[in-house]
Amino acid sequence: MDKPKAVTAAAHKLARLIYTMLTKGEEYPDQGQDYHEERYRQRVLRQLAQRAEKMGMELVATECHS
């Protein structure tokens, strides 16, 4: 997504949040950093699986070693 489209998308999202808060009197539910990081992780994994499938490969989960 190019920069003008990204700015427009962010502005629309903020406008919808503000409109909902003003019309329904609801507060913005902050889900926290962990929520957003997990969503990002899932999105990356889904994209990797799609790319692997296009190349005739398959992703295999392994145990995490910390």
pLDDT of residue 66: 57
- What is the tens place of the pLDDT at every residue in 17-29? 899 889 998 887 7
Domain ranges of the chain: 3-54
> CA 11 to CA 36: how far, in whole Å?
19
> In the predicted model, what is the mean pLDDT of residues 9-22?
92
Nearest 5°: phi and psi at 11?
Answer: -65, -40
Sequence length of the chain is 66
> In the predicted model, what is the mean pLDDT of residues 1-19?
90
